[in-house]
Copies of this chain bind each other. A is one copy, B any other.
């Protein structure tokens, strides 16, 4: 970011001095995504000039990496030829992303100038629901036929490589476009030229369906170490591929979503820094309100035991410690389980194993904390032994309940079809707070005879 600022100044300086050819050669030495970041920082009125200075072969790559705001500015300024050029150069999945991000009037301008073929492809891909495999795939894969020889395949790859997003895994399709097998380019190199593709191809294929969630696509690619995965329709016809760079984006998006949900924030696709004030407010306030209302139950419990508290005000002093420790113990358990579920390391059938383990860990943690606290209560706070016992027993029970609730709720949530990430710290904290206060006051009224 600091670097970008310096580069932006240099670019603006060269532009001011009208040193266009030096500017062009400087920009050609920088990676497209970095050029896109620089262009994101220059004044809007300079954007088109700078874009037109870019070396032709880099322009489409730079354009693809830009933020939607700058893309929109450029398209509004582009002439017909420039729009056609950019659409021909872009991969079809990137063109679809572009169309999805632009306002209707800009989309019209794009589609009006697109070649009929490109327009048809874009419209086909726009049909798929958001976040489905179909919506992230590209149709520019390399296909082969099973009756080709390796030599034929090489010839076909050589002729078509330019317009394909990936040529390193080739897909063998039947005349009805059924996916029959895959052949890696590496295998083609290692086989004699007259081998038939049908004899060489791998028929044990991992594929996804157009309507599968993009998260499923990324998981399959990660599990099987794939750099591309085929996407098939209901009739098992090959319709596209997803490439690994898109899968990485999906993985990061899904992780952000999980983390946001765990912190009681409604997830969006936008980076924090690009999210507006009111939008940020809207992502947070419903959860804060909901959790505030549920926290009032905790208040009701305290009110119920008001007379006990009047007699032993000292008990109030340990409420925050008990609540915080319960919340922390519960969120350790719930977050571990949520992550395990999200990485498919934990299944519903593991529920008893998980609960057993958490209970034992809870007893260990609970005893350690209660012991440490007992010494502190007796020797530092100098409260009576009875009060110390009430506090420490509550602590032990709270930790056990917290870890049990914390590990169980996410698994149950997943089982009944909810996102387990909702069951993270804030919800667990609210539940555990109430339970720990009830334990506290029950113990206190029995032991202290209030």
The chain A residues found within 8 Å of chain B, CB to CB, are: 1-2, 28-31, 33, 157-158, 161-162, 167-168, 185-186, 189-190, 204, 206, 221-225, 227, 244-245, 247-249, 251-252, 255-256, 258-260, 262-265, 271-273, 277-278, 280-281, 284-285, 287-289, 291-292, 295-296, 298-300, 302-303, 306, 309-310, 313-314, 316-321, 323-325, 327-329, 331-332, 334-337, 339-340, 343-347, 349-350, 353-354, 357, 360-361, 364-365, 368-369, 372-373, 376, 399, 425-426, 429-430, 433, 437
Per CB-CB distance, the 9 closest pairs between chain A and chain B, nearest first, are A263-B335, A298-B320, A225-B245, A1-B347, A295-B321, A272-B340, A299-B317, A295-B324, A271-B345
Is there an interface contact between A372 and B244, defined as CB atoms closer than 8 Å? Answer: no
- Given A295-B320, A296-B376, A323-B323, are A158 and B206 also a contact pair (CB < 8 Å)? no
Which residue of B has the minimal Cβ distance to A368? Answer: B285
Chain B residue numbers with a CB within 8 Å of A162 are: 190
For the complex formed, measure the closest distance between the CB of A218 and the CB atoms of chain B, giving whole angstroms: 9
* A430 and B245 in contact, given A310-B313, A369-B289 (Cβ under 8 angstroms): no
Q: What are 28 A-B pairs at a CB distance below 8 A?
A: A1-B347, A31-B206, A161-B186, A161-B190, A167-B189, A221-B248, A227-B244, A255-B255, A256-B343, A258-B259, A265-B332, A265-B335, A265-B336, A272-B337, A273-B345, A277-B357, A278-B364, A281-B361, A284-B365, A288-B325, A292-B372, A296-B321, A298-B324, A302-B316, A309-B313, A316-B316, A323-B324, A331-B425
A275 to chain B, nearest CB (A): 9
Expressed in whole angstroms, the minimum distance between the Cβ of A434 and any Cβ of chain B is 9
A263 partner residues in chain B, CB cutoff 8 A: 262, 331-332, 334-336, 425
Count of chain copies? 2
> With A285-B368, A317-B306, A368-B289 known to touch, is A295 a contact of B343 (CB < 8 Å)?
no
> With A and B bound together, what is the CA distance between A285 and B273 in angstroms?
35
Known: A157-B189, A272-B340, A306-B317. 19 other contacts (CB 8 A): A29-B204, A33-B224, A167-B185, A168-B168, A225-B245, A227-B244, A251-B252, A259-B335, A264-B331, A265-B335, A272-B345, A273-B350, A273-B354, A298-B324, A302-B320, A303-B314, A310-B313, A313-B313, A323-B323
Partner of A285 from B258, B260, B364 at Cβ < 8 Å:
B364
A373 neighbours in B (Cβ, 8 Å): 292
Q: Is the CB of B260 within 8 A of A335?
A: yes
Question: Which residue of the partner chain, among B31, B158, B328, contacts A224 with CB atoms under 8 Å?
Answer: B31
Chain B, Cβ-Cβ closest to A245: B225
Expressed in whole angstroms, the Cα–Cα distance for A235 and B243 within the complex equals 34
How far in angstroms is the closest Cβ of chain B from A57?
11
* Beta-carbon nearest neighbor of A64 in chain B: B225
Chain B nearest CB: distance from A357 CB in Å? 6
Do B31 and A204 touch across chains, with their CB atoms under 8 A apart?
yes
- Asked whether A336 and B272 contact (CB < 8 A) given A157-B189, A244-B227, A298-B320, the answer is yes
Name the contact of A281 in the complex, choosing from B289, B313, B364 (C-beta under 8 A).
B364
Quote the shortest CB–CB distance from A356 to chain B (angstroms): 9
Q: What's the Cα separation between A336 and B271 when bound, in Å?
A: 9
In the complex, are the beta carbons of B325 and A295 less than 8 A apart? yes
Give Cα A300 to B334, complex, Å: 30
Contact of A288 with B365 at beta-carbon distance under 8 Å, contacts A1-B349, A324-B430 already known: yes
Q: Which of B344, B347, B369 contacts A292 (CB 8 A)?
A: B369
Which of B319, B347, B426 has a CB less than 8 Å from the CB of A320? B319
Decide if A433 touches B224 in the complex (CB within 8 Å).
no
A325 touching B33, Cβ below 8 Å:
no
- Give the distance in Å from the alpha carbon of A349 to the alpha carbon of B41 in the complex: 15
A262–B259 CB distance below 8 A: yes
A346 to chain B, nearest CB (A): 6
Bound together, the chains give a CA A249 to CA B162 distance in angstroms of 31
> Which residue on B lies nearest to A365, using beta carbons?
B285
**Bound complex: CA A167 to CA B349 (Å):** 42
Residues of B within 8 A of A320 (CB): 295, 298-299, 302, 319, 323, 433, 437
Q: Are A343 and B252 in contact (CB under 8 A)?
A: yes
A272 vs B225: C-alpha distance when bound (angstroms)? 22
A393 to chain B, nearest CB (A): 15
